[in-house]
Amino acid sequence: GKWTKYLQITVKLLAGERKICDEVFEGISFNKDQCFTELARTGVAVAKTLLSFGDAVAKSKRSSEKLFVLLDMYEVMHEVRSEVEVIFQDSFCSEMREAALGLMKLLAQTAHEMFVDFEELVEKDTSKTNVHDGTVHPLTIRVINHVKFLFDYQSTLKLLFQEFETGSDTESQLAVVLTKIMQALQNNLDGKSNQYKDPALMSIFLANNIHYMAVQTLSIQVASSSGTSASSDLSSSGVSRAMIKERSTAMVEVFQYAI
């Protein structure tokens, strides 16, 4: 949180310095870009430190919770991108410009890879937690909460997918990613259901988990249609309908299998 705040402040101050420098030295024959670099040396040093820190975070050990940190950082980097390109437009500041754009791409790449990591983590989860009474498994709760958080970042995710799928339908990309996660969960639950010796209890376990997945998914759709802040874009894009239909079809198939 502090990193994003300080980055925004630093970029804003440097943008002001750049504007003043351009206005004061307009029409003068000497290199005003070099002058700006010298005058804003302290601010540039701060920006460099912030970018280095961001780079270290993006390269550090991955975790499912860390995905949201990277998405926050990517969102801020995208917001200040145009200002950064103006501030560091000349050859004297090319290193800073390239570092900023490089960090944004690194954050996008790492976040993109973490989707794949999470999908594999869900499908291969071998936690020893046993649900003896057939109620909702803790893995189901964790995965659904993760997916619900992702909906809060749908606008950022669309921008992120554009980094890799130029000209493609980013809304479809989001739906595909989330559907894969849900499918991975479904596959894992199928495996976990085999721990029950009683076929009836196995069916109850699958039915309870599928019911939980379906109700939570529908709650996202309700939030979208009511115009709440987290899902207004999703409602207008139609992504939720397509994704819910796809998930629900898969859930019904599993439920029928369980019966």
Give pLDDT tens digits for 185-209. Answer: 999 999 998 888 889 989 999 999 9
Is the same domain home to 142 and 239? yes
Residue 242: inside a domain, yes or no? yes
The mean pLDDT of 80-90, rounded to a whole number, is 89
Residue 154: inside a domain, yes or no? yes
Q: Say whether pLDDT at 154 is over 90.
A: no
Is the same domain home to 142 and 73? no
The total domain count for the chain is 2
- Measure the CA–CA gap between 72 and 107, rounded to whole angstroms: 10
Q: Say whether pLDDT at 168 is over 90.
A: no
Which pLDDT score is estimated for 185? 92
Which pLDDT score is estimated for 170? 62
Residue 44: inside a domain, yes or no? yes
Is the same domain home to 219 and 162? yes
Q: Which domain holds residue 59?
A: 2-111
Which pLDDT score is estimated for 103? 94
Is the same domain home to 146 and 93? no
Residue 45: inside a domain, yes or no? yes
Is the same domain home to 66 and 158? no
Is the same domain home to 8 and 57? yes
| Domain endpoint, select from 111, 137, 170 | 111
Report residue 14's pLDDT band, with 50, 70 and 90 as the boundaries.
very high
| Domain endpoint, select from 81, 111, 141 | 111
| Domain endpoint, select from 111, 142, 176 | 111
Which pLDDT score is estimated for 220? 58
Is the same domain home to 94 and 53? yes
Is the same domain home to 88 and 132? no
**Tokens representing residue 110 in the block:** 């790492």
Is the same domain home to 159 and 193? yes
Residue 247: inside a domain, yes or no? yes
Which of 62-76, 150-164, 224-238 is predicted with the least confidence, judged by mean pLDDT?
A: 224-238
Is the same domain home to 102 and 176? no
Is the same domain home to 87 and 134? no
**Tokens representing residue 58 in the block:** 């993006």
Is the same domain home to 68 and 149? no
